Amino acid sequence: MAAPIAHRAHVVMVSGPSGAGRSSAINALEDLGFEAIDNLPLSLIPRLLDGPPLPRPVALGVDVRNRDFSSDGMIEVLDSLHREARLSAELLFLDCETDTLVRRYSETRRRHPLSPDDTPLTGILREQELLAPIRERADVLIDTSDLTPHELRAEVARWFAPQTGVPMALSVQSFSYKRGLPRGVDMVFDCRFLANPHWDPDLRPHDGRHPDVVAHIEADPRFAPFFDRVHDLVASLLEPFVEEGKASLTIAFGCTGGKHRSVAVAEKMAKALADHGWRVSKRHREIERQSKDGPSGEARVKA
């Protein structure tokens, strides 16, 4: 008979290409109360978990640098963990765009573990090919291409922090269509039809959190019907998503520059959802790119 879910030990295996943020994710899990073990050989994982009952959740870092690493070997370990009734096992995979990985290696001047005597790109491509079958098995996949370390920690916490009683985490984001759609979003809404504060010299320097910018956008007679319909649509879907077991939902609002209209609408939507008791995080992609000291992607809205 399977062990009760409440008594199953939680094991998270963490993998991904070198430079994608695997170590940062493991550190974030450790801060969340996980026992973190990095670079453990695959052959030792069953022996570790066959011991006494685990007093707290465990995070295991595995990548190509492990002594006995292979894609088949890791998949075999994953399958064995899923067969263990006393364990609840997940695979967290940290992914990243190739160009971003090359840039990160260039900035740190580190050698890639799979191409110590060749260019980092050679090793990156080899590693991506090696990890492709493992990526397909991921329970949680986080693309770190546009994330700062702080934002990555917030994303890990969104997936793995102890439950607070709120059944689903919401993320509301703003972005610029000129830079493309953000990755991993569930719902996207276009705000480019609203009155644009960019054309007002007094408003242009401010972003969509400034009260004068907000007032300018909300004065557009099209704003209220748009916002109310989007809010009603989103609100009507939240409980059904929860019933289907969805753990998180990401909603994105876009405009031309990602500074005024999308930011104002995202802020208002995040507050409206938080006022109804949902756990909401915000991210303004273009504002974050403008300055390293810009607003955090983990900014929380209190109900």
For residue 277, give every residue at least 6 positions away whose Cβ sits within 8 Å of its Cβ, in sequence order, or none: 166, 303
Please classify residue 197 by burial: count the beta carbons closer than 10 Å to its beta carbon, then call 0-12 exposed, 13-18 middle and 19+ buried.
buried
Q: Are 174 and 180 in contact (CB under 8 A)?
A: no
Of the candidates 289, 219, 299, the residue with the CA atom closest to the CA atom of residue 266: 299
Alpha carbon distance 137, 132 (integer Å): 9
CA atoms within 13 A on the CB side of 208: 32
Q: Are 222 and 190 in contact (CB under 8 A)?
A: no
Tokens standing for 114?
Answer: 């799979």
Name the DSSP class of 293: T
Of the candidates 61, 46, 59, the residue with the CA atom closest to the CA atom of residue 15: 61
Alpha carbon distance 86, 80 (integer Å): 12
Strands 169-176 and 248-255: parallel
pLDDT in tens, the chain (303 residues): 333 344 568 889 999 998 888 888 998 888 888 888 888 888 888 888 887 777 788 999 888 777 778 888 888 888 888 887 778 888 999 999 998 888 888 777 777 776 777 888 888 898 889 889 888 888 888 999 888 887 888 888 878 876 555 567 788 999 999 999 987 789 999 999 999 999 999 999 999 999 999 999 999 999 999 999 999 999 999 988 887 767 778 999 999 999 999 999 999 999 999 888 887 888 898 988 875 444 333 333 332
Strand extents, DSSP E, the chain: 9-15, 35-38, 58-61, 87-95, 140-143, 169-176, 187-190, 248-255, 279-284, 300-301
Helix, coil or strand: residue 1: coil
- The architecture of the domain spanning 5-160 is 3-Layer(aba) Sandwich (3.40)
Tokens standing for 202?
Answer: 């007094």
Name the pTM for this structure: 0.55
Name the DSSP class of 117: T
Domain boundaries, the chain: 5-160, 169-301
